[in-house]
């Protein structure tokens, strides 16, 4: 079944129920408007604080997008780019593209103009939807990309080099397009986050998207009565595939345009959210605000909040222990995945396994896992090797990149590039990215283990461990430490704190600075190695 049939089913079963809510805390107006009302007030220039649409309107809008694209000549197998910040228009456009049989191509909102051009060209994009925030970047490359592409502007005051999305869909029929879309058809191209280099184009089909939706609902026991709070960017498979649990059950989702601790807790309270997916930095920020008394839980209605889950990166066990001090009744899950596996869930902890916090978990619904050595042979439990996964969510290929595809896909297995080990109970632990492993004096050092250790220090807000060049050791371990506001930490303090680490794992240098993360919350070690790679150990050369 193609993923679009879930939307059509929800429109029939729950047509008058709210499907999507958009909340923008930065706006001052505090009133709810329907989609129709929103269109009527556009001329005033006043954007509402909160917008919502029902499942019926959601499906109608997706149909209008599909029919408009088909009128412009877009056919099955063509590509449509989406360059938008999180907003109420995002998902109807995405589903409308899929209804035509075309492929949706979400683009990272942090891309530069040249990166947008590169990704549009690589994916053979025929149409590009873009929003207000991207006018300057798109205008910069418009002479090149507009020669064979249609540009649609989503918002008010359309620039002259594009067409207005609102006007284009306004007179299009809201009936379903007459296109046969099958579950084996190609559905989307997502881009890797680029933590190991320039992003690669990842081709997914409808089977993979449906697997993600079903799996999300099963893993988190999502029901029609749940309310999912979506904060991370929708261009990424993480946020999108978690939302698809709501699509699978016909339940409501809230798109929050903001990630401050107050905005998250207030929105969870006001909208009665039951499931919230956080990135590590946001969870850390909430705990800091609670520790300092800047926020008080008694000021929010959070009894209905049953599940907090985290993905996109390793989660320090100390963070979850701290979280449960404030939210002792929360269920917790962590989700591991890649865009190449249609987002999170090919490995997940499981809400019943909180005693195993620190592990990424066990194979997800309908997934298999194994850990192999450099020769592709399965290692013994307790040994470190490369994690491989196999299941219906594995990508078709890297689009236009057969060499990278051959390296990543072997006999149906996806080689993730992540180093992991499996304990005696069958739980998988992420050790580090293969390319992030530090080789120091002949020893393999896995930064995640040191990051988890340092994260237990309550004065540390965030931490990342990288290798820096060293003449004697080859590489030496450096820890970038972001200290909590109002706290003081010295290098001597951290040296004493690390005495419980094995000698070879103790950082040889501490760098006090802000930790760099990408838009999906992952540590951007490429950027940090570039920033600090010129450092050399001098006085710390022989320490530890």
- Asked if the structure places residue 250 within a domain, the reply is yes
Model pTM score: 0.82
Q: Which of 433, 454, 486 is the last residue of a domain?
A: 433
Nearest to 544 by CA among 440, 413, 395: 440
* DSSP letter (8 states) at residue 379: P
Q: Torsion angle, CA of 464/289/229/47, rounded to 10 degrees?
A: -110
List the structure tokens of 472: 């004697």
Q: Quote the mean pLDDT of the chain.
A: 88
Q: Which of 27-41, 210-224, 237-251, 492-506 has the lowest mean pLDDT?
A: 27-41
Pairing outcome for strands 385-390 and 331-338: unpaired
Give the chain's domain count: 3
- For residue 357, the SS3 value is strand
- Angle 409-426-464 (CA atoms, 0-180°, nearest 5)? 70
67-103 per-position pLDDT tens digit: 999 999 999 999 999 999 999 999 999 999 999 999 9
Note the pLDDT of residue 43: 44
Radius of gyration of the chain (CA): 24
C-alpha span between 432 and 169 (Å, rounded):
46
Q: How far is the first Cα of the chain from the last one, in angstroms, to the nearest whole number?
A: 59
Note the pLDDT of residue 33: 53
C-alpha span between 394 and 411 (Å, rounded):
12
Note the pLDDT of residue 431: 79
Note the pLDDT of residue 45: 46
Note the pLDDT of residue 75: 95
What is the pLDDT confidence band of residue 312, given thresholds at 50, 70 and 90?
Answer: low
Q: Is it the case that residue 542 has pLDDT exceeding 50?
A: no
User: In degrees rounded to 5, what are phi and psi of residue 290?
Assistant: -70, -40
Mean pLDDT of 266-291: 93
CATH number of the domain that 254 lies in? 3.40.50.12780
Q: Are residues 444 and 421 in the same domain?
A: no
Q: Which of 433, 457, 474 is the last residue of a domain?
A: 433
Residue for token pair 């820890």? 479
C-alpha span between 15 and 388 (Å, rounded):
41
CATH number of the domain that 478 lies in? 3.30.300.30
* DSSP letter (8 states) at residue 68: H
* DSSP code per residue over 207-246: HHHHHHHHHHHHHTT--TT-EEEE-S-TTSHHHHHHHHHH
What is the pLDDT confidence band of residue 34, given thresholds at 50, 70 and 90?
Answer: low
How distant, in Å, are the alpha carbons of 89, 350, 377, 421 from that of 387? Answer: 37, 19, 11, 8
C-alpha span between 350 and 357 (Å, rounded):
10
Note the pLDDT of residue 539: 37
Portion of the chain with pLDDT greater than 90, in percent: 65
Domain that holds residue 53: 4-258
- Asked if the structure places residue 297 within a domain, the reply is no
* DSSP letter (8 states) at residue 516: P
- Asked if the structure places residue 282 within a domain, the reply is no
């Amino acid at each position: 079944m193609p993923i679009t049939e879930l939307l059509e089913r929800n429109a029939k079963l729950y047509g008058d129920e709210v499907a999507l809510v958009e909340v923008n805390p930065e706006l001052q107006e505090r009133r709810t408007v329907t989609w129709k009302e929103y269109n009527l007030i556009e001329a005033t220039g006043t954007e509402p604080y909160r917008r919502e649409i029902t499942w019926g309107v959601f499906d109608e809008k997706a149909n209008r997008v599909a029919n408009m694209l088909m009128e412009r000549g877009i056919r099955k197998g063509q590509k449509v780019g989406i360059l938008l910040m999180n907003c109420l228009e995002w998902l109807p456009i995405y589903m409308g593209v899929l209804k035509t049989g075309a492929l949706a191509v979400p683009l990272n909102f942090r891309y530069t103009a040249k990166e947008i051009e590169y990704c549009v060209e690589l994916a053979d994009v025929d149409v590009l939807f873009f929003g207000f925030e991207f006018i300057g970047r798109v205008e910069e490359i418009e002479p090149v990309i507009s020669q064979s592409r249609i540009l649609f502007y989503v918002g008010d005051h359309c620039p002259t080099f594009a067409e207005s999305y609102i006007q284009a869909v306004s007179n299009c029929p809201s009936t379903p397009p007459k296109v046969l879309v099958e579950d084996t058809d190609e559905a989307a191209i997502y881009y890797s986050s680029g933590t190991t280099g320039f992003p690669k184009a990842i081709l997914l089909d409808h089977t993979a998207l449906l697997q993600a939706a079903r799996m999300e609902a099963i893993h988190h026991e999502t029901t029609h009565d749940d309310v999912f709070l979506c904060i991370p960017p929708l261009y990424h498979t993480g946020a999108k595939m978690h939302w698809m649990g709501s699509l699978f059950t016909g339940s409501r989702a809230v798109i929050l345009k903001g990630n401050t601790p107050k905005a998250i807790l207030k929105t969870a309270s006001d909208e009665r959210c039951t499931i919230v997916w956080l990135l590590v930095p946001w969870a850390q920020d909430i705990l800091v605000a609670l520790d300092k008394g800047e926020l008080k839980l008694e000021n929010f209605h959070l009894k209905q909040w049953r599940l907090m889950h985290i993905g996109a990166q390793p989660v320090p066990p100390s963070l979850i222990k701290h979280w449960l001090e404030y939210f002792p009744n929360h269920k917790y899950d962590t989700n591991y995945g890649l865009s190449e596996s249609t987002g999170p869930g090919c490995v997940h902890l499981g809400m019943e396994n909180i005693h195993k916090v620190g592990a990424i978990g066990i194979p997800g619904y309908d997934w298999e896992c194994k850990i192999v050595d450099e020769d592709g042979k399965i290692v013994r439990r307790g040994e470190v090797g490369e994690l491989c996964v196999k299941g219906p969510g594995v990508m078709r290929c890297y689009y236009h990149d057969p060499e990278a595809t051959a390296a990543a896909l072997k006999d149906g297995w996806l080689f993730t590039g992540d180093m992991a080990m499996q304990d005696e109970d069958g739980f998988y632990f992420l050790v580090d990215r293969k390319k992030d492993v530090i080789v120091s004096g002949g020893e393999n050092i896995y930064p995640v283990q040191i990051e988890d250790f340092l994260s237990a220090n309550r004065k540390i807000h965030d931490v990342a461990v990288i290798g820096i060049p060293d003449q004697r050791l080859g590489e030496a371990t450096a820890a970038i430490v972001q200290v909590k506001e109002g706290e003081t930490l010295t290098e001597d303090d951290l040296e004493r704190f690390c005495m419980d680490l094995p000698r070879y794992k103790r950082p040889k240098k501490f760098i006090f600075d802000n930790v760099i993360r990408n838009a999906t919350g992952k540590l951007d070690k490429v950027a940090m190695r570039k920033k600090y790679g010129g450092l050399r150990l001098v006085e710390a050369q022989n320490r530890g």
